[in-house]
Structure 1
Amino acid sequence: MPINTTFQIGEKADAYDAIVIGSGVSGGWAAKELTEKGLKTLVLERGRPVEHRKDYITEHKAPWEFDLRGQLTQEEKKEYSQAVRIGYLDKTALHFFSKDSESPYVEEKPFVWARGYQVGGKSITWGRYTFRISDLDFEANQKEGVGVDWPIRYKDIAPWYDYVEQFAGISGEKLGLDYLPDGNFQKPMELNVVEKHLRKRIRELYPERYLTIARAAVLTEPIGERAPCHYCGPCWRGCSTGSYFSSLSSTLPAAAATGNLTIRPFSVVHSIIYDPETRKASGVRVIDSETKETIEFKAKVIFVCASAMASTQILLNSKSEEFPDGIGNTSRVLGHYLMDHHLGMDVNATVPGFLDRTTRGNRPIGFYIPRYRNIGGASDMPDFSRGYGFEGAAYREGWSKAFGMEGFGADFKNKIKEAGEWRVGMWGFGETLPYYDNHARLHPTETDEFGIPKMVFNAEIKDNEKRMRQDCLDSMAEMLENIGCTNITAEDNAAGAVPGFGIHEMGTARMGRDPKTSFLNGNNQAHEVPNLFVTDGACMTSSPCQNPSITYMALTARAADFAVKQLKSGNL
């Protein structure tokens, strides 16, 4: 379905009921829900237009069709030095990430800020894993006296998880765990033979641990024109069949079908305009990235969904006489409590046997081992709070095993063609506690090409996370040894401990019950500006170790429903 990209500029700018800043996971959901509820909605996207299917220009290219087989040149590594640090960027998806010159920032402490400036945002390149969070997560801050209490509980968001999962299409296996709630799943993808063996052995030796296929926004059953995954593999290049969820394939076309959607690319949001007479936001100030013209768009409701750090930059830069530290920021918590999942806890091993079996196709997801620390009883740890989960996969070594092998000639080449041993790799995702001094702020003098102050990042993992990392590596290595694996390596990759590396930035405009200690209430509504909503990762009050995007989707749909009801009742 084509997306309506009609531009409305100048005098027509007052014709909107709602403005959504950002067109990715959260922005797409805001657009869908607001338009379907009858609101004329403008979506502002900083980057270029991208058309589903047509603009996935590398989707099925073979390695030999790329210069250097897809590896970046030294010049490209310089141009994209920020995004390169996430570890997997190459020519196959380079066009979906921004250059350093397009997104300058200052690192007082190391921080990775990977961004994609296009309609669809990072929903084109995301990892697609979707796990609900539970009351174990919602109640943790209150029980431990850390940060502030979440203003909602699982019962408040559960119906919205159901709602967004049914539309997005989530495949997965039900486990019946209260700390990893089951969802509205399509049939799960299948574990391979070695993963099934690992699952069986883990359950025999560790009854509190589960290995399951990852729950993911990848279809195994059709939804409308979106087809089930056909295991082609390179998801991060775009998915023409719509088999994985993106705003381009799903929410934005649904919004366009209402006739209420306008998308405006090349629109760099400078700030949100505050009206002191109504004590509400009256619109959004935009700089056209092509003409450098400043334009103001008006609306009754504003949803900020630009991604956590970009949203916070916009909010901080939205200054007025009443709010000199950023719109709605009397509490001065905006920008603080920056969180991300810490990664780089990598464990690898050889799995003996099964040499008569191999895999077929390119399954787009791996397996998942849910959190098994600090979930109650004997699992509680004296040295650290919260926990971690593992993502991973078992696979047979291919030709790459030849690196470091001795030999030459025909026998060497034939040996390379033979499948190698079975290996298993696992990567830990750990929760980071909300610390006030982990923060992002605006630079007092340095700006980008649009005159917008650069963001300054000052964040790091602390002792709790460091102790968690050690336990994560030790417990996983021990488990693999006990179930019969060999050649086990457990590595703490320091790069993965750098905030931003996980691309799960959270917390800088957090939800809470008290306007003195939080920016948003339980409906993702700014305490001090009632028609302003923030529903991306910035709203998170803590950072449960589960991949967070499905929570952003559910919170966005819930907040949009609330906002429209408030608007129609005259409260906004």
Structure 2
Amino acid sequence: MINVNGKAKELNTYDAIVVGSGISGGWAAKELCEKGLKVLLLERGKQLEHIKDYTTATKAPWEATHRGKMPLDKEKDHPYQVRDRLYTEFNADYWLKDSDSPYKEEKRFDWMRPDIVGGRSIMWGRGSLRLSDLDFEANAKDGIGIDWPIRYKDLAPWYDHVEAFAGISGQKEGIPHLPDGVFQPPMEMNCFEKQVKGRIEATFPGRHMTIFRTANLTQPIGDRGKCQYRDRCVRGCPFGAYFSTQSSTLPAAMKTGNLTLHTDAIVNSIIYDEAKGKATGVRVIDKHTKEMTEYYARILFLNASTLGSTFLLMNSVSNRFPNGLGNDSGVLGHYLMDHHFHAGASGTSDDFADKYYFGQRPAGFYIPRFANVGADKRAYLRGFGYTGYSSRSGWARGIAELGIGNSFKDYLSAPGPWQMGLMGFGECLPYEENQVALDHSVKDAWGQPVLKFNCEFKDNERQMRKDMDQEAVAMLEAAGLKNVQPFNRDSYPGMAIHEMGTARMGRDPRTSVLNEWNQVHAVKNVFVTDGACMTSSACQNPSLTYMAITARAADYAVKALKRQDL
């Protein structure tokens, strides 16, 4: 006799389902669980336990077979991942196999995809900068794209909320277009950086140089210790000293007893009930068995990353939504953005020959946007900020030298001159033709269609890049550096790993996918709070904004549930 489980649907039913456990998904799970909801967190990647699974976190370079470099045979399974600086021998197991889940490029797009719980929160750059009304009002003022449906005042309390929990170290500067936040004590600039800061700010009134605002603790929070200045963050931090899902939001969600985490779960599509006009759940493919299971909930939060969430909406078709769930406007997949970078300058200095720095500080410094701010007007729209670094050159400077004997060894045993670099991160405008779409001619290992990219930087970005290296040269020379050289290397969409935009927020359902609360206009119990929701890109690192938007939307969703509005 066959045993039939008549309670299968009941057992697979939750108050909320969160798709993706990265930076925004972890926040969604934490906030919803702490507000009393029973939450299912679905992650396509494998388990990565905090501390235990950071197996290379304390290894020295010489303890790795290839000294941290990726062997050439990895290119077979990871042809896209090998393009990125974050994919190393020390975290090789963290990444998705491109061969299992390929994508197509009409124009080059570098899509970096982890395959672990926590997603890119494990290896992100940790830059934590607020957007301001200069950014939220830009589209309306410039007549570009559509207007954001929110302003800085709507997010300000939520920035406060996430900063206090995540732990952001930084210096308050009183810059209107780079709002101050809830900061832990800042990391300290070294003597060389302080000198450069003074000279730049004296020469260029209105420009600022500050220590980078970063999600690295300088004071402990609970079980999380402060940063040890090891700069091995991309391997996972056993001290919990930087914000990640594993160290922060996941333990908080688990503590409530309201969370169920399901790994190796590939969410294929959203179940839509046409009679109710609501989503009722998701279809999930088991990564290993390839069996499909349905899970149900009253609300869904899509946090699978910009492109993962967009894929899920596109792949969720029905009679009501033949072109993808919530895609009445036809803009789903369009207006794909990323920051452009790899343009700036570097130089050296003979000053402070008797000084050195402590440890390997995991954060550089930052020069906020000054182009098209106030009276400053340029030939292009928007602007850029600089991330900077400094150090003293080491023994590797002798690799190309001809030398032998004790004097040569002594030369390489002492630190070389100070060196500094400035690299710009520039805003990309939202272009309708920059898009991603489903390609049904190619299937992944689970029989799903793949994404196809058609995205490029255009004239506005190219004009901006000229300023990014020229202004860097001007500032470094004004600061007294020698041998100042500009650089302007290739920068393709995806390389900055700040992709965003493809399911944008807006006031009008005819021109946007989401409303001001991140709800799909036509399916109000589906929320999208990762990078897909962005209406413009600004030039700041976006992850802090994703956190704040997610916390705000979760608060709204729970209140709407209590009002029985969802």
> Is 2:454 the partner of 1:458?
yes
> Is 2:484 the partner of 1:488?
yes
TM-aligned CA deviation for residue 484 of structure 1:
1.3
> Is 2:497 the partner of 1:503?
yes
For residue 550 of structure 1, the aligned residue among 544, 554, 560 is 544
Q: What is the match of residue 4 of structure 2?
A: none
Q: What is the match of residue 527 of structure 2?
A: 533
Percent same amino acid among aligned pairs?
A: 54
Q: SS in structure 2 opposite 1:532?
A: strand
For residue 128 of structure 2, the aligned residue among 130, 133, 136 is 130
> Is 2:437 the partner of 1:441?
yes
Q: What is the match of residue 299 of structure 1?
A: 297
Distance 2:204 2:344 in 1: 20
Whether contact under 8 Å (2:86, 2:234) holds in the other structure is: no
For residue 422 of structure 1, the aligned residue among 418, 423, 436 is 418
Whether contact under 8 Å (1:63, 1:69) holds in the other structure is: yes
**Which aligned pairs between 1:136-285 and structure 2 lie closer than 5 A?**
136-285=134-283
Unaligned residue ranges in structure 2 (runs of 5+): 1-6
Distance 1:312 1:161, change over 3 A: same
TM-aligned CA deviation for residue 11 of structure 1:
4.1
Q: What is the match of residue 319 of structure 2?
A: 321
Q: One-letter code of the match for 2:564?
A: G
Q: One-letter code of the match for 2:542?
A: P
TM-aligned CA deviation for residue 10 of structure 1:
4.5
Whether contact under 8 Å (1:13, 1:296) holds in the other structure is: no
TM-aligned CA deviation for residue 232 of structure 1:
1.8
Q: One-letter code of the match for 2:512?
A: S
**Which aligned pairs between 1:377-392 and structure 2 lie closer than 5 A?**
377=375, 379-381=376-378, 383-392=379-388
Q: SS in structure 2 opposite 1:166?
A: helix
Q: SS in structure 1 opposite 2:389?
A: strand
Whether contact under 8 Å (1:15, 1:40) holds in the other structure is: no
Whether contact under 8 Å (2:199, 2:478) holds in the other structure is: no
Q: SS in structure 1 opposite 2:99?
A: helix
Q: SS in structure 2 opposite 1:562?
A: helix
Distance 2:311 2:150 in 1: 26
Distance 1:205 1:228 in 2: 36
Q: What is the match of residue 49 of structure 1?
A: 47
Q: One-letter code of the match for 1:516?
A: R
For residue 559 of structure 2, the aligned residue among 549, 560, 565 is 565
Distance 1:82 1:99 in 2: 9
Q: Deviations over 1:243-295 (max 9, x none)?
A: 10001110011000000000000000101111101101110000000111100
Distance 1:132 1:393 in 2: 21
Q: What is the match of residue 117 of structure 1?
A: 115
Whether contact under 8 Å (1:42, 1:262) holds in the other structure is: yes
Q: One-letter code of the match for 2:180?
A: D
Whether contact under 8 Å (1:131, 1:548) holds in the other structure is: yes
For residue 412 of structure 1, the aligned residue among 405, 408, 413 is 408
Whether contact under 8 Å (1:96, 1:125) holds in the other structure is: no
Q: One-letter code of the match for 1:330?
A: D
Distance 2:405 2:63 in 1: 27
Whether contact under 8 Å (1:24, 1:123) holds in the other structure is: yes
TM-aligned CA deviation for residue 81 of structure 1:
2.2
Q: What is the match of residue 3 of structure 1?
A: none
Whether contact under 8 Å (1:13, 1:298) holds in the other structure is: no
TM-aligned CA deviation for residue 490 of structure 1:
0.9
Count matched residues. Answer: 560
TM-aligned CA deviation for residue 241 of structure 1:
1.1
Distance 1:347 1:94 in 2: 31
Whether contact under 8 Å (2:386, 2:422) holds in the other structure is: yes
Give me the TM-score of the superposition, normalised by structure 1. 0.97
Distance 1:452 1:317 in 2: 9
TM-aligned CA deviation for residue 80 of structure 1:
2.1
TM-aligned CA deviation for residue 411 of structure 1:
2.5
TM-aligned CA deviation for residue 419 of structure 1:
0.4
Distance 2:68 2:353 in 1: 31
The worse-fitting range, judged by mean Cα deviation, of 14-23 and 479-488 is: 479-488
> Is 2:74 the partner of 1:76?
yes
Give me the TM-score of the superposition, normalised by structure 2. 0.98
Distance 1:260 1:525 in 2: 23
Q: What is the match of residue 335 of structure 2?
A: 337
Distance 1:126 1:10, change over 3 A: farther
Q: Deviations over 1:1-26 (max 9, x none)?
A: xxxxxxxx954544300000000100
Distance 2:15 2:562 in 1: 11
Distance 1:20 1:322 in 2: 23
Q: SS in structure 2 opposite 1:479?
A: helix
Whether contact under 8 Å (1:10, 1:295) holds in the other structure is: no
Q: One-letter code of the match for 2:546?
A: Y
Q: Deviations over 1:145-196 (max 9, x none)?
A: 0000000000000000000000000000001011000000010000001000
Distance 1:103 1:399 in 2: 41
Distance 2:307 2:87 in 1: 20
Whether contact under 8 Å (2:23, 2:244) holds in the other structure is: yes
Q: Please identify runs of 4+ aligned residues in structure 1 that moved more than 6 A.
A: none
Q: Deviations over 1:72-101 (max 9, x none)?
A: 111013332212212342201212222211
Q: Deviations over 1:397-455 (max 9, x none)?
A: 01111121121233322221110000001211000000000000000321111111100
Q: Deviations over 1:294-346 (max 9, x none)?
A: 00000000000000011101110000111010001011100000000011113
The worse-fitting range, judged by mean Cα deviation, of 554-563 and 483-492 is: 483-492
Q: SS in structure 2 opposite 1:49?
A: coil
